[in-house]
Amino acid sequence: MKNNIKVERAINNLTQEELANKISVSRQTINAMEANKYVPSTVLALKIAKVFNKSVEELFVLEEED
């Protein structure tokens, strides 16, 4: 699953650490998601979407092989 978290962070001038603090995860979790090495839970995806005022579908893209 690909995502647009890094792009949204840049638009909103948030560091990985700041986003992590807003959704109560580690900076390493944000880093892993941005590198497409970690797929967040539904709850975590919803929290991220809320921070950026976007839908989950706008942030996360399900690929054919997923």
CATH (domain of 37): 1.10.260.40
Helices (H), 1-66: 5-11, 16-23, 27-34, 42-52, 56-59
Residue 53 covered by a domain: yes
Q: What residues make up the domain containing 8?
A: 2-61
Per-residue model confidence as pLDDT tens digits over 28-41:
999 999 999 999 99
Residue 66 covered by a domain: no
Question: Does residue 5 surpass a pLDDT of 70?
Answer: yes
Per-residue model confidence as pLDDT tens digits over 7-58:
999 999 999 999 999 999 999 999 999 999 999 999 999 999 999 999 999 9
The pLDDT value recorded for residue 64 is 78
The amino acid at 58: E
